Amino acid sequence: MTGDTRERVREALATHLDERDPAPFDALPDVEALVERFDVATDPDPAVDAYWVTEPYAHVALRRDPDTEELRYDVLEPTRSEFADYVYEDLRDVARRVLLDEEYAHDESGREAFAERLDDVLAEHARGVPPAERWVVRYYLRRDFFGYGRIDPFMSDPAVEDVSCDGADVPLYAYHRDHGHLQSNRSWGSDVVESIAVRLAQRAGRHVSAANPLLTTTLPDGSRVQVTLGGDVATRGSNFTVRKFREEPFTPPELASLGTFDARQLAYLWLAVAHNRSVLFVGPTGSGKTTSMNACAFFIPPDHKVVSIEETREVNLPHENWVADVTRTADDASAEARREVDGYRLLSEALHQRPDHILVGELRTDPAVVRAFFQAVGTGHDGFTTFHAETADDAVRRLTHDPLSVPPDLLADLDVIVVQRIVDEPDGVARRCWQITEVGTPDGDERPSTRDVFHYDADTQGFEQRSRARLPREIAADRGWRDDRLREELDSRQRVLAHLAAEGTFDYEAVADRIFTFERNPERVLADLPEGVREGAERVRIADD
């Protein structure tokens, strides 16, 4: 452990023990004794970044390998002695017998009550255990009862988006929001990996076995998990991937502050969504398609009805008039098995619910679902969905060719394609809106035309408008607006978004309140803006009549 890390650990331990953590100790453990518990890293390489994920128990350091220049994700937790291992195993069994028969609410109050009872068990059954050993055991009991066990430091790190275990004795990988895939200093044997996989399934209320070794489901916190048990299906042993769920979704001004979009692009999308236009978000895996779709869904008028359809729940909207559906796989466990409810069935039923907007989590390879979505768009239901493609033209080509074969005139009912990509920038990897493309009417049997409006510039690491936007002009014609009204509709939205981003207003409810209030009474929101607030360096250029 480097000197900086050692001092950080010492300071956190001293503060934590003095101010917040007296129970269940009759005598507090010695700080220096606890510091030594963390002294497992002898690598002298300085950390690129270091921080607590569960203070003062789990610490993370990002270090660059001096030989390969590869950035690593090192987890540091207090080590357990052989005696502490024995105490832990014994107290874990006692806690299970004593506590798991008791009823606790599935919320923060229930968690706190459970923690207090666990402290009671420690105080009663570990009286003769030295304070430092008891402190370490207490951490691991809490981690394993309340958290995600061995992967809890990864799950507790807000900078980690995905956690991936590829098999036994293979290092765990963390997808860091600023640095991409990072190899960690954690790996386990086949029995441990399988136990983690099984426990993840159990946390989701599901079952995985040799007979049914594959499972994709949602954890209680909303994270999406895919589990595969080792055997003839997974030749490297059991594996799992967790895509962590952000309790509060990214908001439009937050994406502007991160550089994913600029306020000008978001104002363009706001105008489109608020006036019943359909948007397709495309890009490779992990490029932020669903994140951007969810953020742009904030622009749906507050009183409109929304129906979302997903395989696993990811979308999180601020709208009250929202029906959130998820598909269901068949359950073959008994003669009274639950029947499968697929995306096509949910989409068909959604049309009977009179939605103004339909959000489909992702279009994949099922032609029935894809065509049903575009038929819904063609019959007046505004649609939002995601699709795997590299560019807007690639998306149009894939959608209109086998096996999806969406008729060109049906695809032309789509209005905008937003392309996301992961790009390399000097400060690390970043998600950027690569292009925003308008979809036009097909010429005969040809594919719909496309027109790039905005595009990411890798040289300037900014966004440029490559052509004048036609869609705002179409909206103005539908609404009967003059040119000055259209200009004000775009500029006022851009000013609001630029102001929210500049002042750091990213809170889910606060942003929704500003956007919803604007849709009902724009003058009220604009009157609250400080004098001199501008749209930004550039405004949306609109096509001539």
pLDDT in tens, 285-324: 989 999 999 999 999 999 999 999 998 888 999 999 999 9
What mean pLDDT comes out for the span 141-153?
A: 92
What confidence tens digit (pLDDT) does each residue in 248-270 have? 899 999 999 999 999 999 999 99
93 by Cβ neighbours in 10 Å (0-12 / 13-18 / 19+) ranks as: exposed
Q: 225: pLDDT confidence band, cut at 50, 70 and 90? A: very high
Residue 418: name the closest of 249, 235, 543, 295 by CA: 295
Mean pLDDT of the residues in the chain:
89
Q: What tens digit of pLDDT does each residue of 105-114 get?
A: 556 676 777 7
pLDDT at 312: 83
Residue 242 is which amino acid? Answer: V
Q: Please give the full DSSP string across 350-413, using - where no structure is assigned.
A: HGGG--SEEEEEEE-S-HHHHHHHHHHHHTT-EEEEEE--SSHHHHHHHHHSTTT---HHHHTT
Whole-angstrom Cα distance, residue 40 to residue 337? 51
pLDDT for the residue 108: 66
Contacts of 263 (CB under 8 A, 6+ apart): 256, 494, 497, 498, 501, 535, 536
Question: In whole angstroms, what is the distance from residue 469 CA to residue 270 CA?
Answer: 14
Looking at residue 508, the DSSP 8-state letter turns out to be H
pLDDT digits (tens, 9 = 90+) for 334-391: 445 568 899 999 999 999 999 999 999 999 989 999 999 999 999 889 999 999 999 9
Greatest extent of the chain over all pairs of C-alpha atoms, in Å: 85
**Radius of gyration of the chain measured on its C-alpha atoms:** 26
Q: CATH code for 252-329+339-468?
A: 3.40.50.300
Taking each helix axis as running N to C, give the angle between helix 289-296 and helix 263-274, from 0 to 180 degrees, rounded to the nearest 10. Answer: 60
- The domain locations on the chain are 252-329+339-468
Give me the mean pLDDT over the 438-447 stretch.
81
Give tens-digit pLDDT for 159-183: 999 999 999 999 999 999 989 999 9
Taking only the tens place, the pLDDT of each residue in 156-165 is 999 999 999 9
Name the nearest CA neighbour of 344 among 367, 316, 320, 321.
Answer: 367
pLDDT at 224 over 60: yes
